[in-house]
Amino acid sequence: MAPVVQARGLGRRFGKRVSLQGVDLELPAGEVLGLIGPNGGGKSTLLLLIAGLLEPSEGEVRVQGIPSQQLARQAHGRVGLITAEPGLYPLLSGRENLHFFGRLHGLGAAQVDARLRDIVGELHLQDALERPVSACSSGMKQKISLARALLMQPALLLLDEPTANLDPVSARAIWAEVRRRADAGLAVIVATHDLVAAESACDRVLLLAGRVLDEVRFEGPRQPPPVGHLFGPYLRVIGAEDGS
């Protein structure tokens, strides 16, 4: 089966500064690839290059055979993106945001609602959907952002530090959903500073610092990051024993 992502000699400079160079990459469906490395190491740059939101200075990257620069025109939502900042209109409700982006991707209003019914239940978003985004917690905003990506039924999900600034419950929910989707066949690339989560949930990890320094593949079943001894008492404190 052809890989979902194929990159050859991929690199990007910002002025004279080289952010990333010489990245070769293949990612099959159903695999979660972690990107770890220091700040400025090129993790976000790599994700944006794959999404077609940055032009490569060298090399090329294709998603399902489509050059990244043509993704927006040809792939119609086959790439879902989640950034550390949720990227939502703060004065609109979650539902209005999701409808707007869904309609931009060519979905009808009824189609958006139908797809949302499943996603909202899975992400426990019922309460947050009708509120203005500005009144939602960081965790809820990130879940709405995840819902937007899933709404387009992508073949590839790109996550840039999706759990930064999230409480443990929200972070675990995001990781669990990502892992569940990957097990169902979604290709995922996630940039993170959470080494424990990367080791637990990713099938493979690239260590990036301007280029790929190392690659680690993990064996055995993958799962959301371990919760530790404090997770139970934490859930009791916030009154969310069911993890919602």
Q: Of 2-61, which residues contact another protein (CB under 8 A)?
A: 14, 48, 51-55
Told to check if 73 binds another protein by CB under 8 A, we report yes
In which order are the strands placed within the sheet that holds 212-217? 79-82, 156-160, 187-191, 32-36, 204-208, 212-217
- Quickly list H helices, the chain: 43-51, 71-74, 94-104, 109-123, 138-151, 168-183, 195-201, 231-238
Q: Which one among 9, 26, 40, 91 touches another protein, defined by CB under 8 A?
A: 91
Closer of 89 and 215 to another protein (Cβ): 89
* Min dist. Cβ of residue 48 to another protein (A): 7
Closer of 70 and 244 to another protein (Cβ): 70
CA distance 138 to 86: 8
Closer of 191 and 198 to another protein (Cβ): 191
Total interface residues for another protein by CB under 8 A: 34
Q: Which one among 10, 35, 46, 83 touches another protein, defined by CB under 8 A?
A: 83
The amino acid occupying position 121 is G
CA distance 227 to 200: 11
Closer of 19 and 224 to another protein (Cβ): 19
In sequence order, what are the residues at sequence separation of 6 or more whose Cβ sits closer than 8 angstroms to the Cβ of residue 221?
Answer: none
CA distance 97 to 40: 30
- How is residue 137 written in tokens? 């917690």
Closer of 85 and 199 to another protein (Cβ): 85
Closer of 89 and 244 to another protein (Cβ): 89
* Min dist. Cβ of residue 177 to another protein (A): 19
CA distance 41 to 213: 10
Closest-CA residue to 186 (of 12, 4, 30, 16): 30
* Min dist. Cβ of residue 149 to another protein (A): 9
* Min dist. Cβ of residue 75 to another protein (A): 8
Told to check if 127 binds another protein by CB under 8 A, we report no
DSSP 8-class letter at 108:
-
Q: Which one among 18, 72, 164, 176 touches another protein, defined by CB under 8 A?
A: 72
Give residues in contact with another protein (CB under 8 A). Answer: 14, 48, 51-55, 69, 71-73, 75-77, 79, 81, 83, 85-92, 96, 100-101, 103-106, 132, 148
